[in-house]
Structure 1
């Protein structure tokens, strides 16, 4: 598999970004990327893009890396309400390297690998980081370097997700167990129920799960619940009590206590911190050429590196 290694010894330069919702009969128009790279994270629906001569079909929770100097065009209409994050950026002058991916060589002197397309096993941190980038980018009180750092953090998290999903594991059974837990997550799921389904002794299952994943089964279950709660807080206007129920918590007060302990914010504070005011990117013209020669931020930051 071919991957692109990005140098992260310094933060990349964020150019522009947004959250797009497709209307009925929408199809991505033909654009030329010029010098900017792009990361697309599909949230819902389907996206049909041809990048140069290669066609990609993206499903929910999939990521596409679009290189600089690429011709991008939609080859099929997307379903109505298809939604995705998009981020244009310039890599650092130290450059990039495109090569065959080899497990065990995930980082080379401060570099991270990203393939052209891959799936996120679950939203986890990526969704929250994407919202943070857009929220901070829309706030004029923050310097541009803040957005650069946050977008770099998002790329690192995406690379981590790719590495984690592509590593060969003797613990394939652990992946089956984790998948079963995701599919059967409810407010009363216990370690004993998981162990019974896979015909393990509960204590033995706890030991091998902790050894393979670095967390207990209960910690993993709570992680899934919290990720679902974060997603609902950011994507819906549901009241907190309903979100607690939808995220499989028995008691909304207990949910609020756990949430505050984990994130140092109440659910309501978390929701207000990452509002949707930034998510209208309909006025952005994707045909505008993005060149480092015309980007003041890029020239100022790296003028001594040329």
Structure 2
């Protein structure tokens, strides 16, 4: 049986002890009967792992983020008959905003939205790279990546709508300038166009078209406010090929046309 114990070194002064990327068979186990002085965050990429804390056993699978509070006796490892592929990092809670840390001793959040999973993984990769390279501002870069992970987890925890709607909103924002093709969008999400449209309206109170137009108009207002681009240029920038339609949508949102909006904002 492979047993790991807590190892702390000079990085503790910065709030990070160690970060790693493991793919372990079922002989892997870490035991800390006295707990540890920092927090542990893990993100499971594949297989299954487990955490044992006083009175509780928790199983983590692909897409699960776990946060283990400092000072808590615990054991964790790979479930029998499984492998556990995961990334992890230790950090000092004193260096993190309390609002981003859960109250639970062991917190688990399942992330099913593929785009969010990718963001969390890429943030962990930055932590691994920066903590090893130790270049200028390495600690600040690590903490920023960790904050991103914790904010994504907190956002998921507070989310009130279906995960498929979260993925739809992400796709709309990424392809805001492209013509809207609900059939293609629904195929990507894994629903029929009618089911996606119904679910979207049920969860957001808006149609997909209205939500996309709102995104475009918000971005257009920012461009008018902070750049020297004309209203017609901004319309194309955000995906409106019909300028009159852009004006109508903008006036519906702000009560004035784009040119008047820009003049008032500048004044």
The answer to whether residue 158 in structure 2 is matched with residue 167 in structure 1 is yes
- Look up the match of 1:197: 194
Q: Give secondary structure in 2 for the equivalent of 1:69.
A: coil
Structure 1 stretches of 5 or more lacking a match?
1-10, 98-110, 182-188, 217-306
* Distance in 2 (alpha carbons) for counterparts of 1:92 and 1:176: 32
Task: Name the CA shift for 1:200/1:45 in 2 (closer, same or farther; >3 Å).
Answer: closer
Q: Give secondary structure in 2 for the equivalent of 1:40.
A: strand
* Distance in 2 (alpha carbons) for counterparts of 1:65 and 1:167: 16
- Look up the match of 2:168: 178
Task: Name the CA shift for 1:150/1:49 in 2 (closer, same or farther; >3 Å).
Answer: same
The answer to whether residue 157 in structure 2 is matched with residue 157 in structure 1 is no
Q: CA deviation at 1:65?
A: 0.8
Q: Give secondary structure in 1 for the equivalent of 2:130.
A: helix
Q: Give secondary structure in 2 for the equivalent of 1:56.
A: strand
- Look up the match of 2:244: none
- Look up the match of 2:100: 112
Q: 1:48 touches 1:57 (CA, 8 Å); kept in 2?
A: yes
Q: 1:33 touches 1:71 (CA, 8 Å); kept in 2?
A: yes
Question: Which aligned segments of 4 or more residues in structure 1 are displaced greater than 4 angstroms?
Answer: 171-174
- Look up the match of 1:132: 126
- Look up the match of 2:35: 33
The answer to whether residue 216 in structure 2 is matched with residue 207 in structure 1 is no
Q: Give secondary structure in 2 for the equivalent of 1:88.
A: strand
Q: 1:45 touches 1:79 (CA, 8 Å); kept in 2?
A: no
Larger Rg: 1 or 2?
2
* Distance in 1 (alpha carbons) for counterparts of 2:132 and 2:196: 52
Q: 1:174 touches 1:209 (CA, 8 Å); kept in 2?
A: no
Q: Which has the higher contact order (CA 8 A, sep 6+)?
A: 1
* Distance in 2 (alpha carbons) for counterparts of 1:54 and 1:153: 31
Task: Name the CA shift for 1:138/1:173 in 2 (closer, same or farther; >3 Å).
Answer: closer
* Distance in 1 (alpha carbons) for counterparts of 2:165 and 2:70: 35
Q: Give secondary structure in 1 for the equivalent of 2:119.
A: helix
- Look up the match of 1:61: 63
* Distance in 2 (alpha carbons) for counterparts of 1:96 and 1:135: 23
Please report the TM-score for the alignment, with normalisation by the length of structure 1: 0.47
- Look up the match of 1:224: none
Q: 1:26 touches 1:80 (CA, 8 Å); kept in 2?
A: no
Structure 2 stretches of 5 or more lacking a match?
1-12, 172-179, 187-191, 199-206, 218-267
Higher helix share: 2
Q: 117-126 or 35-44, which moves further after superposition?
A: 117-126
CA-atom RMSD, angstroms? 3.8
* Distance in 2 (alpha carbons) for counterparts of 1:176 and 1:133: 26
Q: 1:129 touches 1:150 (CA, 8 Å); kept in 2?
A: no
